[in-house]
């Protein structure tokens, strides 16, 4: 009886192990050094057709008062988020995590960081300059952007699909804590919880992988 029960337990364990293999393999694949073949292209269903999250053209101003457009990104991958300078806790945490990411990616000149204020009326160029100085950022690598509220909110809601909402009778905003990785074709390829440092570390890995895929394509074209 014991042997029969033991065999059943063993068989069940083997079956569960086999069934669990695809999930386990997926986890190991994701965690290994560039052990995955591609990153997803995030899409939305529009009348039965999957349409990629694509970042529209825009014109904003950076922390140095310089006009910054989508064309200014050039041939670079970029990482984007939304914040406001007077945000007391969530924004400093997210941008602190992005500071870590920028340091780990500082040798990757093909990666740019874009932080859009959701409070352009108060986040003037001078305010953004002081905010950027607080994080001791590299101006060539990281842009804090302000401009027309309609432009910023259109980007947030329609391009990045991020939640942005003013809280009535306060100076606060409900805004997404998500950080987005965007490829050279302006398509969103990764969405991460900016409050979770583990996800930010995964974002760094994904950004490096995305750059590697472009380099591999360039090398293949040169053959």
> What digits encode the pLDDT tens for the residues 105-141?
988 889 999 999 999 999 999 999 999 999 999 999 9
- Cα Rg for the chain, rounded, in angstroms? 21
pLDDT at 170 > cutoff 70: no
- Mean pLDDT lowest for which of 6-20, 49-63, 144-158, 202-216? 6-20
CA distances to 39, 126, 162 from 148, rounded to whole Å, are: 32, 16, 17
Does residue 62 register a pLDDT over 90? yes
Asked if residue 126 lies in contact with residue 117, where contact means CB atoms within 8 angstroms, the answer is no
- Under the banding of pLDDT at 50, 70 and 90, the label for residue 97 is very high
As beta bridge partners, residue 114 has 80, 143
Please say if the pLDDT value at position 9 is more than 50. no
Residue 205's contacts (CB-CB under 8 Å, 6 or more residues apart) are 34
pLDDT in the model for residue 69? 98
pLDDT of 4 higher than 80: no
Per-residue model confidence (pLDDT) at position 167: 46
List, for residues 23-46, the tens digit of each pLDDT value: 333 333 444 455 567 899 988 888
What is 43-222's CATH number, 3.30.300.210, 3.40.50.970, 3.40.50.880, 3.40.30.10?
3.40.30.10
- Average of per-residue pLDDT across 170-178: 62
* Residue 183: pLDDT over 60: yes
pLDDT over 70 for what percent of the chain? 77
Report the half-sphere exposure of 57 (CA within 13 A, side-chain side). Answer: 1
Q: How many Å apart are CA 44 and CA 98, to the nearest integer?
A: 26
């Amino acid at each position: 009886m014991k042997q029969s029960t033991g065999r059943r337990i063993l068989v069940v364990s083997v079956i569960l192990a086999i069934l669990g293999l695809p999930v386990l393999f997926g986890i190991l694949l994701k965690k290994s050094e560039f052990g995955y073949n591609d990153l997803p292209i995030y899409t939305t269903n529009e009348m039965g057709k999957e349409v990629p999250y694509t970042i529209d053209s825009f014109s904003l101003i950076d922390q140095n008062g310089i006009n910054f457009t989508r064309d200014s990104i050039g041939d670079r991958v970029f990482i984007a988020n939304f914040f406001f300078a007077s945000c007391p806790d969530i924004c400093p945490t997210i941008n602190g995590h992005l500071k870590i990411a920028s340091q780990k990616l500082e040798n990757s000149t093909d990666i740019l960081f874009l932080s859009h204020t959701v409070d352009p009326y108060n986040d003037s160029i001078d305010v953004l300059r002081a905010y950027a100085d607080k994080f001791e950022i590299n101006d060539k690598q990281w842009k804090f952007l302000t401009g027309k509220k309609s432009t910023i909110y259109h980007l947030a809601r329609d391009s990045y699909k991020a939640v942005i909402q003013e809280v009535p009778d306060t100076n606060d905003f409900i805004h997404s804590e998500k950080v987005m990785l965007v490829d050279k074709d302006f398509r969103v390829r990764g969405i991460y919880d900016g409050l979770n440092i583990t996800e930010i570390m995964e974002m760094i890995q994904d950004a490096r992988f995305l750059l590697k895929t472009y380099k591999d394509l360039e090398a293949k074209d040169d053959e």
